[in-house]
Amino acid sequence: MKRKKSPIKPLKLKKKSGEKKKKTAQRKAGPDAGNNQGLNKPPVSPLQVHHDAADLIDEASSNLEGAEEDIPSTIPVLPVRDIVVFNYMILPLFVGREKSVGAVEAAMTGSRHILVLTQQDEATENPEHEDLYTTGTVCMIMRMLKMPDGRLKVLVQGLSRARVKNFVAGDPFHIAEIETISEHEPPEETAELEALVRNSREQSEKILNLRGISSADIMGVLNSVSEPGRLADLIASNLRMKVAEAQSILECEDPVKRLTLVNTQLTQEVEVASMQNKIQNMAKEGMDKAQRDFYLREQLKAIKKELGEAGDETEEIEEIRAAIKKAKMPKEVRTETEKQLRRLEAMHPESSEASVIRTYLDWMTELPWKKSSRDRLDIKEAQRILNEDHYDLEKVKERILEYLSVRKLNPTMKGPILCFVGPPGVGKTSLGRSIARSLQRKFHRMSLGGMRDEAEIRGHRRTYIGSMPGRIIQGIKQCKTRNPVIMLDEIDKLGNDFRGDPSSALLEVLDPEQNNSFTDHYLNVPFDLSKVMFICTANVLDTIPRPLLDRMEVIRIPGYTEHEKVKIARRYIVPRQAKENGLTEEEFQISDNVLSKVIREYTREAGLRNLEREVGSLCRKMARKKAEGEEGPFKATTRNLHKLLGPASYLEDERETTLPPGVAIGLAWTPVGGEILHIEVSILPGKGKLTLTGKLGDVMKESAQAAVSFARSHADKYGIDPKFHETQDIHIHVPAGATPKDGPSAGVTLVTALISALSDSPVNAETAMTGEISLRGRVLPVGGIKEKILAAVSQGMKRVLIPSQNTKDLDDVPEELRKKIEIKPVERIEEVWPLAKS
C-alpha cells in the first residue's frame, strides 16, 4: 500500500551539522533509552548530565545554529505518552504505533523536523487531535534505526518551542501547522534574578549529593549557563516530574517565570530526596543492628559453652520430641510433626521462622488426638439430670436418651448433629450445657452470629503473620478431649463476604461422612471430628443454606405456656434470682398467682428472658429493704406488684369485647413466638379498586386478592351484592404499619373480614383463626400451631379455628392449654363463617 505524499517541503541540511549530530547521537544514545511504544527519558537520577556535558552543550548549540530558521511551518506530529521534551534535550525514543512510524518516515524523507506533542492521557492508544497538548517542541531527528520487531529507534534533539495553529491532517499520520515560540531576550541582571539562579544551582547540587552522584562536572555545566530560560530547560529536562507539571513549564514563555517554576519543583524534589535518604539510613541502621545482635548472640553462646551452661536448645528439642511421643498421634500426623521438628533443629533458635514452627509444634502436641472423656451410659441417671435442669422439653430429652442407649450398645457410633430451633429465651443454649453434663462430657460454646471469615472455621495458613487454627480446633484444645459437646450458637446468622463463606466451611464440619478427616489450614493434617457431638441453635430456618440444613437433625423448641412458665419460674428462676441478689428462698416469697400476673401483665414473649428480668427486679427491691434493716420475709403480692414493678405493660382490657363489621382476629407466627393480628376491611364508594396497607409481603397480598375473588364468586351465599366490585372500593389494612408482615397464615382471616365488611355482619371478638385458602374454598394447613394457640390463650380468646390437616399438630399442645380454649378444625371456608359469627 502506497503512503500518501507528505505536503512538507524538504530541507537540505549542511553536511557539517549532520556529522556533528551523528557524533552526538552515538555518544548520547544508550541502553537505558527505551519506552513502551513511544517515549521515556532515561530514568537515571533526578538531575542527570553527561560527564562531558560542556562539550555536549557546545555541540547542541552548534546544531541549533541556523536550524530554527529552517523549521517549516507545516510538519509531522509525533505523539508521546509520558515525557515532555525541552529545548537542547537529546534523547532516544522507541516508536511503535503505525501513525507515529509514518510521521517519523515522512520527516526523514523531508527536513528531518518533527513536532513532539505530549498526550493528555497516556492510556490513550490512538490519540486524536483533541487528545494532545497544543504546545510542544520541534525536534531534529538525528538518527533512525529500524528494529527487528518493526519499531523504530530514533535519536532526537529539541530545537524550539512551538504552538499548534491548526491540525492539517490526521491520517495516515498527524500533520500540524505551527508557529515557533521565540525565546525572550535575556532580562537585565538583578539581585533577585541572581538569587533565583544561585538557588536553582544550589538545590540541584543538594539533590546530587543526596543521591550520591559526583557533582563536580555537572555543577561546572550549570555554572556555565547564565541565561535563566536555558538554565530552566536544562534542569527541567532531567527532573522527575509529572507530565502536567512539566507541560506547564514548557508552556511558560517568560524565562524568569519558567526558572521560578523549576525552582519550586527542585524544592519539592529536595524534600523527597531527603526523606528517601532518611529511610535508607534507617534501614541500614536496622540491618547493622541485626548483624550486631547476631554477633553478640554468637559470643554469648560461646561464653555459655565455656561456663558449661549450654544445651538449652537441645533440652527444648528433647522436650518437644517427648511430647510428640506422648500425644499418640496418627502415623500421618506424627510424620509431619517430626518433619517440622527436624526443621526446627536445623534453624537458628532466635530466627522468626523458628518461632513459627515452635508455636505449630505446641499446637500439635497439645491437641487430644486420642484422649476422650468416658460417657455416662446410665440412662436413668442421665434422665434425672435432664429433668433436674429443664422443665418439659420431652422431645429433646427423649432424643438424648436415645443417643445414649445406642451409644451403650454400639460404642463406635458417630456423634449426632442436632439443631435446636425456637424463639429467643426458650433455653436452647442452656439445654446444650445440660446435655454435656448428662453425658459427662466437656462443653464448648461457639457463637457464629455475624461471622464472615471462612478462616474462623478452617484456620489461617501458616504463611500469614499471627496465623492460628480455626475456632473448632481451638475449642477442642481448650476442652482437652476429642469428644466434647460443641454448641454452634446462632447458626442462622452467619454472614459471608470477600473473605469466604463460613457456612460452606461448616458443610465438612457437620457432615458425619466427612468430618472424620477434617483438615484445618493451620495444622495442614486431618483431625477426627466424628466423635464430637455438635449442637446448633437457630431462631429461624429460612436463612440457613439448604445443604447445611440437610446435614442437621432439626428439633423445634416452641414457646412455653403460662402454666409452664409459672412452673419454670418457681423451680429455677426465683431461687436463682434470690441467690444472685443476696436473699434466701425463705426471705423472698412470691405466690403462683403473682407470677401469673407478672407473666400476663409485664411480659408477652415465647421465652423467659423478660420474666427473669422482672423477677430479678422484684428481688432487687426486696434486697434493698433487707439492706436498709427491715426484717423478712419479703412478699410480692397482687396488691403491691404495681408499686414494685410500675404500671402494667400489657393490660387485659386492651382486647375489644366486640368487633365492628369488617374486623377479624388472625394468628401469626414470629421468631419470638405467636401473636394475634387484627385485619381490618373498609368498604368505600368506587369502582372496585383494591388497596392494601400495613407493609404486607407478597404472599399476604396474593392471599388478599384470592379472598376478594372468593367473595365475588360466592357472593350469593353470604348475602353480598354480586356487583359490589363495580360500585365499591375495598381497603384492607393490617395495623402496626411499620412492622413488615408476610406468610401464608392470613387467608382465612382475610376472607372472614371481607365477608364481614360486605355483609355488614360483625365477627365474634373471642374467636381467632389461622389457615391459608384456595380459590375453591379449601382451608390449607399452616405451621406454628402450638405458638399460635399459645398466643390466643394469652390474649383471652375462647375459640380458635385451625385447618383440619393441622389436627396432628395438636399432640404438641399441652393438655392444660387445650382445656382453656375451644379448638375447631375446618376444611372449607363455608365452615368458617358460621363459627366466626357465633
3-state secondary structure of 320: helix
Long-range contacts of 32-36 (CB under 8 A, 24+ apart): 33/91, 33/92, 33/93, 33/94, 34/92, 34/94, 35/81, 35/83, 35/93, 35/94, 36/81
Given a contact cutoff of 8 angstroms between Cβ atoms, the answer to whether 50 and 90 are in contact is no
Instruction: State how far the Cα of 564 lies from the Cα of 592, in Å rounded to an integer.
Output: 11
As a dihedral over the C-alpha atoms of residue 481, residue 485, residue 486, residue 492, rounded to 10 degrees, the angle is 170
Q: Which of these, 710, 707, 824, lies nearest to 768 by C-alpha position?
A: 824
DSSP string, 461-515: -TTSTT----HHHHHHHHHTSSS-EEEEETGGG---BTTB-HHHHHHHHT-TTTG
H/E segment holding residue 143: strand 135-146
d(CA 581, CA 575): 10
For residue 409 the three cell numbers come to 450398645
Q: Is 745 a catalytic residue?
A: yes
C-alpha to C-alpha distances, 595 to 128, 563, 602, nearest whole angstrom:
86, 10, 10
Instruction: Name the catalytic one among 503, 745, 756, 794.
Output: 745
Q: How far apart are CA 32 and CA 40, in angstroms?
A: 9
The strand ranges marked E within 539-672 are 553-556, 588-590, 634-636, 663-670
Centroid of chain to Cα 129: 45
Q: Is 647 exposed, middle or buried (0-12, 13-18, 19+ CB in 10 A)?
A: exposed
How would you classify the pairing of strands 533-538 and 485-489? Answer: parallel
Counting Cβ atoms within 10 Å, is residue 123 exposed (0-12), middle (13-18) or buried (19+)? exposed
Of 41, 206, 786, 788, the active-site residue reads 788
Quick check: is 788 catalytic? yes
3-state secondary structure of 158: strand
The CA distances from residue 386 to 41, 107, 379, 533, 793, in Å, are 82, 97, 11, 17, 28
Q: Are 555 and 603 in contact (CB under 8 A)?
A: no
Reference 754, options 739, 737, 740, 773; nearest CA is 773
Question: Do you find a cis peptide bond into 172, omega within 30 degrees of 0?
Answer: yes
The catalytic residue positions are: 745, 788
